[in-house]
């Protein structure tokens, strides 16, 4: 029996990493649809929210393209959603970057400056918490980061952390999950084989 090809809708609101995310998804064998059309995105098996840059500008773009209420509605309907880098932060209730800005509010939490360092850039390892099934195979793997703000989420939604140092109190959230909504602070599309395998496990793990 031939398996149905998975369709991934990538939200096109002008994010600079959209093309690299789309290439990674296509390379995994998925049918990729980069669009800001609600009908196209809503018909996808999984919706991916990319992002690089500042939180306020990204939310302004989502509002400008009338995508905020659509994404929130799709989340309520149970469509799987994966936020990548800034896309993960946009899932939060709010951010203090540059100014207070309300986010999509899909996962409780606030985006605040990193405490452990002014900037977290380069390769770092993942510590997967509570044997989160979507990320279990990636525990201890190194992935690529580039951010200066972090998602402060309640413990029940935090599924992976990283550290700048080895101190026990140095951990910061790098992956969140609430039912069918997942956020990844790192760039799986830039994390070579480890990133591609993780992205595949997340996308296919969210599907029935």
Q: Return left, alpha or beta for 60; rule: phi > 0 is left, psi -120 to 50 is alpha, else beta.
A: alpha
Residue 187 bears catalytic tag: yes
Contact assessment for residue 35 and residue 10, using Cβ atoms and an 8 Å cutoff = yes
Residue 32 bears catalytic tag: no
Other Cβ atoms closer than 10 A to 29 = 10
The secondary element (H helix, E strand) that includes residue 57 is helix 55-64
Rounded to an integer, what distance in angstroms lies between the CA atom of residue 122 and that of residue 186? 10
Of the residues 32, 132, 147, 187, only one is catalytic, namely 187
Rounded to an integer, what distance in angstroms lies between the CA atom of residue 89 and that of residue 80? 16
Token reading at 138:
């990636």
Of the residues 97, 147, 158, 189, only one is catalytic, namely 189
118: Cα within 13 Å, side-chain hemisphere: 0
Of the residues 85, 97, 120, 147, only one is catalytic, namely 85
Token reading at 54:
């500042």
Q: Which residues are catalytic?
A: 85, 187, 189
């Amino acid at each position: 029996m031939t398996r149905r090809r998975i369709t991934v809708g990538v939200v096109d609101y002008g994010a600079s990493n959209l093309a690299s995310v789309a290439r990674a998804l296509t390379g995994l064998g998925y049918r990729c649809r980069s669009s800001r059309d609600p009908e196209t995105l809503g018909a996808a098996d999984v919706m991916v929210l990319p992002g690089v840059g500042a939180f306020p500008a990204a939310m302004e773009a989502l509002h400008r393209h009338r995508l905020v209420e659509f994404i929130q509605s799709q989340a309520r309907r149970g469509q799987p959603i994966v936020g990548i880098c800034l896309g993960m932060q946009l899932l939060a209730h709010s951010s203090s970057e540059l100014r207070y800005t309300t986010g999509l509010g899909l996962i409780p939490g606030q985006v605040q400056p990193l405490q452990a360092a002014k900037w977290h850039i380069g390769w770092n390892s993942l510590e997967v918490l509570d044997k989160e099934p979507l990320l279990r195979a990636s525990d201890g793997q190194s992935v690529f980061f580039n951010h200066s703000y972090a998602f402060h989420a309640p413990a029940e939604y935090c599924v992976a952390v990283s550290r700048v140092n080895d101190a026990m109190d140095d951990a910061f959230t790098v992956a969140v999950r609430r039912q069918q909504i997942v956020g990844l602070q790192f760039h799986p599309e830039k994390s070579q084989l480890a990133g591609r395998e993780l992205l595949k496990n997340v996308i296919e793990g969210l599907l029935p």
